[in-house]
Structure formats: structure tokens, C-alpha cells
Structure 1
């Protein structure tokens, strides 16, 4: 997030809870069965519990997940679970309090760690940790991987994606040189593990992968309760396997994070019929890019698109 904050959108520009639900209902006609609520931070959205309840009432929707920074889960994990949330991804890029405050601009690492424990306690499953790997942060990623030894956590290391207008600006963002290729990361973690007397990470079978594994490749320490995954949008493209669409808060449909192409579905929701909304979905599917072609920088920041 920009240090100076963001320009807030007018209330009318944002989709209402009811409009989001209607959009998802229409999306089931093209085969959508899984919904993930993301952000920004979705738990600050007024009505988030009601939205989960409404989405869980759609017969065709089989799974509802949520990506959060975790700092509000200590009080919200149980009501979210009771509303119909199945699983949760918690964004956590560092285990250092100082670095956490630097990256998030909030000194709330303790709250995030408490949120992880509460998600496990109330039975959200699987609980995944999303860790964006940034070379210049010089994090000890073995410590993340070791979280899976004694807890049923699924830590996924995600290659930093150079998205937004601030890429390569030395004052405001990281650059492509900060990409930490997944294969190199796993090799480094295994070397560090061996120095501590641990066995290296090994690939896991499909039956041991967590639900909703998507584009991640999974490994595990022998005997560990959880897994370690790697998501490599740059070093190993998975574009040909991508089956996701992104609905932004202001009612745009985007088929790709790395593309600036988006389609307006808000107008169809407010001025048209369900058939008009369905036609927008068909347009997006027919224009899905073949791959991102290592694009660097986008017009919208990640905080505007959804992490």
C-alpha cells in the first residue's frame, strides 16, 4: 500500500454485497464452483459475514475461501466459519516484527500469528500461509517451512510479481531483480535444513496435497503435519492451466493479474438482466490472454486489483 494512503472510491462505485452475490450466481453458468474473497483486506469490508452467508447459500458453489492478512481473525474466524467459510489463506511475508512493520506499515505481527492459531482452532481447513518471496528482504525462509513440522499448515512461497506503476522505482517499490525463483528457493531451504540436521523437502503425492492446491507444487519434510508449496508465475509459467477470473471491488472482470485488460460488469448488473451479465462473462472467457509474456508493471496496483 502506498505510504500516503490510497484515493478512496465513491460508495456508489463499489459493488454491493447483493451485486457480488448476483454476479457469482451468474458465474456458476460458466462452471464457477469455487469463490475466493480477497482484497486489499476483505475483513474490513462491512457486511463480509453476510456475503459469506449469501455465497454459501448458492447451490452450485462448493467451496468458499478467503485471503486475509490475519490480524482480525482472532475475533472473526469463528463467525466466518459459522457463516459458511471453508478455508483461509493468510498473507505473511516475514516472521520478523521489524520487517513486518516495514512491509505492512503496521506493527501487527503478533495479531497475525494469533489469527493463524484461531483459524486452526475453529476448524477452517486447510489453513494456508501465503509468503511472497522478495530477494532483497533476505528472509530466513527455512523458518517458514519449519512451521509445517508441528502444525497442519500449508506454507506457499509465491514469487514476487512486478505489478503496478511503482515497479523498479528505488523509492517506492521492488523490481524484477527481487524475484526469487522457486527452484532456487527450495534448493536454498534444503541446504539450510541439512545444516540444522533436517531432511530435505520432498515432493508429495496428490493425496497429500491440500484442497484447492491450484498452481502450487507441493513438497514436505518427512513426517511433517503440513506441506510447503511453491507458486512460480515468473520462473515456471502456469498460464495454460489458469482457470480463474477476478472480480474487482468496482465491478470489473479481469482474466489475468499481469494484463491491464478488464471488462465492465457493473453496468450490466445495474442496468441489465442476468443474461447481460452472462454475456460479459462470455466476452472475458473469449479474450483470455495466452500468457503474461513476462510483463512488468500494470496500470493498477496490487492493492487495487486484489492480492
Structure 2
């Protein structure tokens, strides 16, 4: 038998980080749900505090778990077999994220393709439409709710277009950073990776500005009917993923400055690159189906 067939497979010790991450996600889910209710219904509560605590614990978990992974990697504990396991794990994680967004895009398509036409009287639903929503106009986006609340649709021009260009450029800079790492060109790697992080921060800043504009000037809020719900659900979850991706890129940048990674051994960077490109593709779909069409 060859030596490779007896290759050691490192099994890490028990870790508290999965439990800590589960607690953080639970607090984020509960806090976000309560915070939305408090904002839309103008109520007082602890939703914002719970959400903030959850995010803080999540950040602690990310940096703590990443530190353990980095220490194990730099200690030479990982093998080629474990590297394949990491690649399979990251691939399945991205696939789960694809399914996550597919569910929300499915809700958007169902509302646009089925619900709106039915309420307009399509498919022999004229009587149902009159009962549920008299004088309903079957157009998308719906800028008026059954309760009479009116809003405006967010157009593709302006901030959404700028953010699309920014993310597309960031995907290019991320690719060139990866190329620089493969070429063992640390200067090129640092320059383009830093540019990618900067573009991610600019994207998030502009998205916050877009949300402020939507709430204060357009009347586009979370309780503005199915259009407002799907708009903030899709763009908000995407913004959360951009935030996570930016944090991952920052960690990779710090590791690069510390002299980590080689041209042959850099899967942590490669996995982050995969995630960033995935986030960019999701935004392009968002721009087309939420803003443009």
C-alpha cells in the first residue's frame, strides 16, 4: 500500500463554537423578528438589543472559530484528505445558500406570476378578486396595499445601478487578488484584496443610504405590502451576506499581512473568493428581477 493511502486525517477536539454560533443565530432571528414588529407598529421592546447581542456573539464566534482553524492550519495538522473535505463542505454550504435565496426568489415570482393576476381576475377568479380586493389593478410592483397605504417603487437607476457596478468590479478585483496569490505576487494580492474590501464597504454604505431614502422619502417600508416585504427581504438578506463576506475578506487580508498562504496552499482564501463571487451573482439576479423588471 502506498504512503498516501495511510495519510493521517486530523480530527479536531470538541469545540464550543458551533453551540455559540447556534445561540447567536437564535438571538439574531428572535431579535430581528421583534425589531421589525417594533419598528412597523411603533412599539417599544428589546428587539434591537437582542439583535445587537446576537450579532456581537456571532462576531466573537467567527473570530474565535477562525482563530482555531488558522492555528491548526499553521501547525501543519491538515492533510490533503482534509483539504478535500473542506472543499466539499464549502461547496455544500454555497449550495445551501443558493437554495436559501431560491426560496425568496420563489416567493417573489409566485406573487408576481400567480397572486397578482389572480387578484386581477385572471383564470376565472373575477368573483374572488372582487371579494378580496375590489378595484384591484393587476400591475407590478404593487404600490398600494388593501389598507390604502401607498408607496413608491425603487427604480434601477441611481444607487442600485451604482451598487451593481461596484459589486461587479469587486468580483474582478477579487479574481486578480487570487491570481496574485497563485503567482506568489504579494503586492498584487494585497492591493487587489484591499480594493475588494473597500468596494464591499462602499456597497454596504450605499445600501444603508438607499434604505434611508426608501423609508424617509418614498414610503417604502417593511409594512408596505408584498412589494415592500419582498424588496427588503431579498435586499436585506443579501446585505447580510455581503457583510459576512466583507468580514471574511478582512480576515484574509490580515492573514496575508501576517505572511500566511502560499501559491499552492490557500484554500481559506479560495473559499472566501468563492463566497464573494456567489454574493455578486445573487446581486445581479436581484438587480434584474427586483429593480429592473
Which interval holds the TM-score relative to the shorter structure?
under 0.3
Bigger strand fraction: 1
Bigger helix fraction: 2
TM-score between the two structures when normalised by the length of structure 1:
0.22
TM-score between the two structures when normalised by the length of structure 2:
0.23
**Whose Rg is larger?**
2
